[in-house]
Structure 1
């Protein structure tokens, strides 16, 4: 059963719509009724309707204003508008807000039933298209040839000759013509996989379902290729020009749509790491490495989001020379773990020395590579490497003349813990700086009706998802709720000036639409702007005069 909300100021018409149609046979249930748009908005938050039937001409808030707000706040809700001949032009305007259909009054039950059946079919088709497991199994059998995915895998794991890349991408029909590129890696959040993860076949089916959604969206925008490598869904995203900030915004828009679609249709979440922008497909393997690094930050930032490596780590030209798995275990324990995790990682590295039959020179090189990886990590966070590793002391000399491996292990563990503490301190300082700048910007620009997360993120030079995560964590509420609170408080102050009209106050605090302002003001204070002014401002003036 899909949920229906009826919005009509005439009780007789409202009752007729409810009682003259067998809604259950059409697949709908009338969840609530409202006499105007304002009442409807109050009900929608709790009733979560799938379809709203609304008259256009109503007191307080008409159907056109309601449609505008619904399109912004509840974009998935289908809207049907009712209109008389006199306000047909208003109905045409409402179409721009994405209404599904409209009917002329008086409304005939047969006409409304036909429209509702059409809308039900659309909703059914949308759900069936994404959730039909049998259809997904068929798509799985008809997936792209192995040779195509094998070439894409080689692009992200090694550096291939440019001439070979051109020949292969043409022969395989790959959509990889661009001026710059970026790799992204998406991982399924295991805690959301539920029953999918308990069965091997279902787990593979889930991966293919995610791949199918991602491929459909990336093909819609003609922005590159997507495939699975090991357990990560990998994206090779192409751009028409080399513009790091602009390219990332395009990539974020694409990947955020994919993330939301996977959550909506498959009821699982994914986290996506985005690598550095590169100017050649030959360098996409470096971008992929940084994308995997960005994905690792899920451990501290949380899952179900898009994480850009440029937001959290500067690009670095240094490469590690020892085993990548060992290096990642050590670095991840320093960046994300506890003191116990660091001790465990260092212990594992030194256990390797004790259990292998390596020569003295091999052990010395191994220890130097550990120090090099720590130095590289320190530099990536702009820490004072000389101070941390004590280059002017004798640690490097000890490595070439050691007679007690435990002493060197303890020294390296001490260095790792030092780096961990400094990274945590810098991360806290950077977060505080971002919050200070963000709040100052909001305080200065709350009167801008177009003040959005995108705009303030551009000002701070960070991604919208990263800003949203930091702001909610530090402020204890979302950016939008914080902005609304600032605007409402500013409006209260302005109301003390009796020469200012309510609509003038609304415009000054960022609400050019008076009804929109009134809706949020009442939602935050429990009173309309006029009621608030009469109760608190004008009464105060009368007391002063008395």
Structure 2
């Protein structure tokens, strides 16, 4: 059977070992994937391991169990938290209830009691997952889906510009409360389907038309506590679309976090990858079509960054960069193939474009206009991505000779394929360079601000105009370290410098390298170097 994962958090190592040893975890439906000795350590491990349940003591140094529970609720709303404490204090229990803690039990931990609680939690997790997988209930929800006329209006709204008056009157008529927001953002959702029968492990997978309904159920459940929104099925590029209305209390970063949780939940419960493209925010509903178009473009980048995640357009394309608009479907397909690949798509699209030229029975001047149109698309892409014109087109002489190639139109096809491949490689290299430059900026920002105890991923991402989820992924990919591990290393290395070169007291050095608590600084230092800061200085 599939076991749920659990992390144990307690500042007493003997207590952790005792609990891990005494409980028959597998029979209770769990496996212990990690343990931590304080809330700070626990958060780092939770970010990496993403357990189903966190079992934590309430009294710990540096970050107590209630603070840990609060942070888990903010980051991972679906995660179960069990708190145990040696203090029969009603005030703690009250706080735990407010934080929606699953269970609150007293130390010493009784094996039978804890086993019973774990089995109860497993039962609840089973029910939650079965609820979302229940085929008959999903079929009933499918029959109760939104009226067709309302779906048509929203599809109209994201594909062409409608007046604010018309939009407001329709939203009022349909009783959809998304007007009057500070800004609006479109999220385009794609649910990946698999033709591989060996990967279809759930009964739900045998009725694939019900999977999007279950995804919509998860989306509604997750978003309802964050912002006002409307979710509808799309008739075009995306499978379903969310219009999110963000007020002063809501941020795009927060929305991205919630949408990221939806991707994880869909993978965990439905076992299908869900990719969400997030567009530019707009300040008026009449401009929502622009947000939709950029969300669809963000979705296209899954060929570059992978599926099953959120993709924010600001992460993939520079903020404020010009957008190319082409009415011709061949031009749009060419741009998409060159930007995203893969090679097979580039070959298919360029073959179709050159094939039209080869089969056309029109005047020579019309053929020239067709080739100039293709060249214009290529040159604009070269300009947009700041590519080397001579490297792509081979210099002025070869560029001018393209027209001459029309005399042997098969040569144009070869030239177009070669040029498209060059551009694809150059854009990928440019994207990699840009990512490295951004990470370098992040490193410099950390170096300039490591003394600030409030320095966080969110603060860096506001500076870089990136989403925290994308930044964390790229930072680890480029540096080989998670952000918090990198920051800790910078701070401790600076602390070593100060210990070697100054006579400052330990608490002064702790403050200078970004630690508010001297005790926590000493704990982290000893964990890294094996000795306390005082002994380290004494040994020099």
Same fold (TM > 0.5): yes
Q: 1:493 to 1:514 in 2, by over 3 A?
A: same
State the distance in 2 between where 1:162 and 1:321 align.
25
DSSP 3-state at the match of 1:451: coil
How much does 1:350 deviate?
Answer: 0.7
Q: 1:37 to 1:162 in 2, by over 3 A?
A: closer
Q: 2:289 aligns with which of 279, 285, 288?
A: 285
**Other-structure match for 2:243:** 236
Structure 2 CA distance for aligned equivalents of residues 432 and 24 of structure 1? 44
Q: What residue number does 2:149 align with?
A: 147
Note the C-alpha offset of 1:254: 4.0
Q: What's the counterpart of residue 442 of structure 1?
A: 446
Unaligned runs of 5+ in 1: 541-546
Does the CA-based 8 Å contact 2:405-2:411 persist in structure 1? Answer: no
Matched, 1:221 2:226: yes
| Distance in 2 of aligned mates of 1:334 and 1:425 | 13
Change (3 A) 1:383 1:358: same
- Note the 1:474-485 alignment, pairs <5 A: 474-485=478-489
The structure 2 residue matched to 1:80, chosen from 79, 83, 89, is 83
Aligned to 1:539: 539
Q: Residue 221 of structure 1 aligns to a residue in which SS?
A: coil
1:269 to 2:267 alignment: no
Kindly report which structure 2 residues correspond to 1:79-478, keeping only aligned pairs within 5 A, or say none: 79-84=82-87, 99-102=101-104, 122-160=124-162, 162-178=164-180, 180-189=183-192, 194-195=199-200, 201-229=206-234, 230=236, 232-240=239-247, 248-313=252-317, 314-316=320-322, 318-323=324-329, 326-337=330-341, 342=346, 345-356=349-360, 360=364, 362-383=366-387, 402-410=406-414, 412-413=416-417, 415-417=419-421, 419-420=423-424, 422-478=426-482
Give CA-to-partner distance per residue, 1:96-129, whole Å, 9 cap, x none: 7764454567889998798777756654554344
Structure 2 distance, partners of 1:457, 1:35, is 28
SS at match of 1:404: helix
Say which SS state the counterpart of residue 220 (structure 1) adopts.
Answer: coil
Residue in 2 aligned with 1:543? none
Please give the per-residue CA displacement for 1:416-473, whole angstroms capped at 9, x wherever unaligned.
Answer: 4554454345334322321221111111212222221111111122232332233222
Task: Report if aligned partners of 2:338, 2:423 keep a CA contact under 8 Å in 1.
Answer: yes
With 512-521 and 181-190 compared, the bigger mean Cα shift is at 512-521
Cα distance change of structure 1 residues 297 and 498 upon mapping to structure 2, 3 Å threshold: same
Q: Aligned equivalents of 2:504 and 2:333: distance in 1?
A: 63
Q: Which one is further off, 369-378 or 336-345?
A: 336-345
Could you tell me how far apart the structure 2 residues matched to 1:90 and 1:157 are?
52
Q: Residues 38 and 105 (structure 1 numbering): CA distance in 2 closer, same or farther, change over 3 Å? A: closer
CA pair 144-452 structure 1, distance change in 2 beyond 3 A: same
TM-score (norm 2): 0.77
Indicate the residue corresponding to 2:64 in structure 1. 65
Q: Distance in 2 between matches of 1:39 and 1:309?
A: 32
The separation in 2 between residues aligned to 1:204 and 1:307, in whole angstroms, is: 24
For residues 383-432 of structure 1, the C-alpha deviation after alignment (integer angstroms, 9 at most, x for no partner) is 57799779987968975994332444455456545544543453343223
TM-score (norm 1): 0.76
Using the TM superposition, give the Cα deviation of residue 306 of structure 1 relative to its aligned residue in structure 2, in angstroms.
Answer: 2.2
* Cα distance in 1 between the residues matched to 2:144 and 2:110: 47
C-alpha offsets along residues 11-45 of structure 1, whole Å, 9 cap, x if unaligned?
Answer: 99x989998x99999x5779699997699969x88
Runs of 5+ unmatched residues, structure 2 = none
How far residue 154 of structure 1 moved from its aligned partner, in angstroms, is: 2.0
SS of the residue corresponding to residue 261 of structure 1 reads: helix
CA spacing shift, 1:100–1:496, aligned 2, 3 Å: farther
Aligned mates of 1:142, 1:308 — CA distance in 2? 31
Separation of aligned partners in 1, 2:501 and 2:309: 44
Q: Secondary structure at the match of 2:269?
A: helix
d(CA) in 1 for partners of 2:489 and 2:373?
Answer: 53
Deviations 1:133-157 (A, max 9, x none): 4432332222212222222222223
In 1, the alpha carbon distance for the partners of 2:514 and 2:432 equals 32
Q: 2: distance between equivalents of 1:354 and 1:140?
A: 48
CA distance in 2, matches of 1:224, 1:49: 28
